[in-house]
Amino acid sequence: MNIRAVIFDLGGVLLEWSPLALYKKHFPALTEAEIRAFLEEVNFLAWNLEQDKGRPFTEGVAALSARFPHRAALIRAYHEHWLDCIPGPIEGTAQILYELGGNGLKRAALTNFSAEKLALVRPRFAFFDWFDVMIVSGEVGMVKPDPDIYHLTLERLACQAQECVFIDDSLANVETARQLGFHAVHFQSPQQLRAALQAWRLLQQ
């Protein structure tokens, strides 16, 4: 393998992301089952993806609140207290990202992320400064698993797909990467990722 770049997802790979944590903090009277019922009722993941595509949060909150006025306080809270859904970094993955920089490999982020929320979280974690390239869906108006955002990443890295390892916790995103010719890891844990990279001789045993 002639690997020149390793591409990381952010949420679920380098950053913990938990809407449940946010709602448990700000609505302690709600049970976890009630929070999950709310998220399902409003189709939270599909709604959040529109912000990842670039829609301003104020517009997204207004649109969803109009459809679910009885849930307006919960919807608004996700916007107003968004940082509380990021409990912290996934330390083991951040260490791997650091080590790869010493091996002469390009390091990239390819993430479905609201640009306005990324601006809030980026100053809090040093590892953002380690990336050679960052492709943020909210900045480019495309989201994974659209093949175009993978092609844009390759263009900015000046690499071919077969020269890259792609890491994501979403199986759909990983499957698209593999179809495009990337080597890919469906992220489960830092330990699993480290073993895969060691097998490819990108990290020392």
Tokens 């179809």 label which residue?
A: 179
Q: Please state, for a pLDDT cut of 90, what percent of the chain lies above it.
A: 97
Q: What is the spatial distance between Cα 11 and Cα 3, in angstroms, rounded to a whole number?
A: 24
pLDDT in tens, 104-155: 899 999 999 999 999 999 999 999 999 999 999 999 999 999 999 999 999 9
**pLDDT level of residue 103 (50, 70, 90 thresholds):** confident
Question: What architecture is the 5-16+87-199 domain classified under in CATH?
Answer: 3-Layer(aba) Sandwich (3.40)
Q: What is the spatial distance between Cα 7 and Cα 109, in angstroms, rounded to a whole number?
A: 5
pLDDT in tens, 70-91: 999 999 999 999 999 999 999 9
Ranges of each domain in the chain: 5-16+87-199, 19-85
**pLDDT level of residue 68 (50, 70, 90 thresholds):** very high
User: Does the predicted TM-score (pTM) go above 0.85?
Assistant: yes
Element (H, E) at 135: strand 133-136
Tokens 């912290």 label which residue?
A: 88
**pLDDT level of residue 37 (50, 70, 90 thresholds):** very high
23 burial type by CB count under 10 A (0-12 exposed, 13-18 middle, 19+ buried): buried
**pLDDT level of residue 1 (50, 70, 90 thresholds):** confident
Q: Give the per-residue pLDDT at 104.
A: 85
The count of other CB atoms within 10 Å of the CB of residue 92 is 15
**Structure tokens given for 178:** 């593999």
Q: Give the per-residue pLDDT at 102.
A: 82
Q: In the predicted model, what is the mean pLDDT of the chain?
A: 97
The count of other CB atoms within 10 Å of the CB of residue 189 is 11
Q: Give the per-residue pLDDT at 121.
A: 96
pLDDT in tens, 152-168: 999 999 999 999 999 99
CB 26 within 8 A of CB 84: yes
